[in-house]
């Protein structure tokens, strides 16, 4: 498996510094938080995009994904949602990133689950053709209103398109009470990559160094290895939301070593 980390852990850090950290600490790729407050976002012009792609190539690091914030089941018209996805897909194509991350974002308090599932599936079905044209795959993250694999498959199953898949966030499936073997069974046909992290408890989700918390990362790696899955593990350290968390750069080496041990133990 290949290892990456998310720029959510180093908010606002210039891309050359992000790529230097990745290369120095043995990470194969970087997941880019695609938000206007970050260095890489859909507002970049053609020359800026070409520069970003060149910087990745020069560093020997891969752009794993653009982590967007499009909410597939959000109330309202389809077009603003699809416009957001088009912008993300265009940027991913220009940078050579294989994946775009989207969120479920249903209003579970006021909209029946069946209706939200249908809305998200309809939009993803349209977006799948845009993704195919761009040579990029859209991944629905296990998150918010659809935090488990069982939740996500209610949307992904009806879409049934190879350019739409799943992003497994191990925190949210754990919070949803789903075992790693259950999540894998649900998502395996659709799985794009896996976000790993660690926290102290369900009530304290501030980011911790990998291995210092309670999330079943070792079990996740074991399940993936046992089934011969050979994709990406991406460390999403949510420093952006927890300013008091330890700086990610000083944790990257130990985090890489921890994941390497888990992979070795599961081989």
pLDDT, residue 164, reads: 98
Number of domains in the chain: 1
Contact (CB, 8 A) for 234 and 249:
no
Q: What is the pTM of this model?
A: 0.97
pLDDT, residue 267, reads: 75
Q: Is 82 exposed, middle or buried (0-12, 13-18, 19+ CB in 10 A)?
A: middle
Q: Say which CATH number the domain at 165 has.
A: 3.20.20.150
Q: Give residue-wise pLDDT tens across range 140-169.
A: 999 999 999 999 999 999 999 999 999 999
Report how far residue 56's alpha carbon sits from residue 193's, in angstroms, rounded to the nearest whole number.
20
What backbone torsions phi and psi does residue 66 show, to the nearest 5 degrees?
-105, 115
Domain of 43, in residue numbers: 2-266
Contact (CB, 8 A) for 231 and 191:
yes
Task: Give residue 10's Cα distance to chain centre.
Answer: 15
Q: Give residue-wise pLDDT tens across range 205-264.
A: 999 999 999 999 999 999 999 999 999 999 999 999 999 999 999 999 999 999 999 999
Percent of the chain with pLDDT over 90: 97
154-158, long-range: CB within 8 Å, 24+ apart, which pairs?
154/113, 154/117, 155/72, 155/73, 155/104, 155/117, 155/120, 155/121, 155/124, 156/121, 156/124, 156/187, 156/190, 158/117, 158/118, 158/121, 158/125
Q: Give residue-wise pLDDT tens across range 80-134.
A: 999 999 999 999 999 999 999 999 999 988 899 999 999 999 999 999 999 999 9
Find, among 45, 51, 136, the residue nearest to 96 by Cα.
136
């Amino acid at each position: 498996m290949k290892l990456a980390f998310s720029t959510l852990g180093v908010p606002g850090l210039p891309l050359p510094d992000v790529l230097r950290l990745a290369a120095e600490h043995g990470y194969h790729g970087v997941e880019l938080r695609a938000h206007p407050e970050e260095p890489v976002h859909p507002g970049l012009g053609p020359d800026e995009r070409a520069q970003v792609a060149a910087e990745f190539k020069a560093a020997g690091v891969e752009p794993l994904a653009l982590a967007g914030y499009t909410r597939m089941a959000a109330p309202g018209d389809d077009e603003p949602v699809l416009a957001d996805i088009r912008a993300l897909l265009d940027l991913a194509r220009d940078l050579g990133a294989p994946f775009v991350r989207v969120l479920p974002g249903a209003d579970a308090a006021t909209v029946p689950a069946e209706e939200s599932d249908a809305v998200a599936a309809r939009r993803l079905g349209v977006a799948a053709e845009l993704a195919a044209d761009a040579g990029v795959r859209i991944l629905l993250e296990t998150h918010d209103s659809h935090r488990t694999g069982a939740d996500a498959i209610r949307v992904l199953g009806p879409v049934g398109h190879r350019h739409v898949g799943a992003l497994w966030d191990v925190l949210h499936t754990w919070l949803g009470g789903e075992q790693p073997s259950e999540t894998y069974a649900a998502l395996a046909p659709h799985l794009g990559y896996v976000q790993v992290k660690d926290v102290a408890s369900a009530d304290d989700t501030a980011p911790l160094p990998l291995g210092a918390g309670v999330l079943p990362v070792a079990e996740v790696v074991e399940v993936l290895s046992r089934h011969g899955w050979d994709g990406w593990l991406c460390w999403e350290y949510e420093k952006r939301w927890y300013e008091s968390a330890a700086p990610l750069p000083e944790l990257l080496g130990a985090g890489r070593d921890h994941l390497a041990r888990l992979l070795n133990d599961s081989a």
